[in-house]
Copies of this chain bind each other. A is one copy, B any other.
């Protein structure tokens, strides 16, 4: 069961192969994500991840880990404040800020930090889970 103040964290990174596959599946084949020569001529110097791929970690955690199976995703706000790089290590953080037990809903702050502690993506989510909230 999820309660007010509960926290969770999840470490992750994405390889260039995974980013290429994500580009293929979603059709989001902007060269900044998949072409290292193109990326080297931009302000980022190297390929950056799709912001949405980083955000997918929130969906993964809600649906499979915290609170897990049975989660229905209702809302997600996303602020992409810094680029996320391919092959770099990140940690997604979660904190339950509101719980409505009658409606089985929880509001959860979501953010991603790099290893230097910089917030790269932030926002908040609203989820429902009949058996776990």
Q: In terms of DSSP, what is the predominant structure of the interface of chain A?
A: helix
A28 contacts B59, CB within 8 Å? yes
The digit string for A70-99, where 1 denotes a CB below 8 A from any CB of B, is 010111111110000000000000000000
**A21-40 interface (Cβ within 8 A of B):** 21-22, 24-32
Q: Which of A21, A57, A73 has the most CB of B within 10 A?
A: A73
- What is the interface residue range for chain A against chain B? 35 or more
Q: Which residues of B contact A27 (CB under 8 A)?
A: 12, 57, 60, 64
B50 contacts A59, CB within 8 Å? yes
| A60 CA / B53 CA spacing, docked (Å) | 12
Contact among B51, B58, B64 with A30 in the assembled complex (CB-CB below 8 Å): B64
A69 at the binding interface (Cβ < 8 Å): yes
A4 at the binding interface (Cβ < 8 Å): no
A101 at the binding interface (Cβ < 8 Å): no
| A21 CA / B22 CA spacing, docked (Å) | 8
In the assembled complex, the CB of A45 is this many whole angstroms from the nearest CB of chain B, namely 15
A18 at the binding interface (Cβ < 8 Å): yes
| A28 CA / B12 CA spacing, docked (Å) | 13
In the assembled complex, the CB of A39 is this many whole angstroms from the nearest CB of chain B, namely 12
B25 contacts A63, CB within 8 Å? no
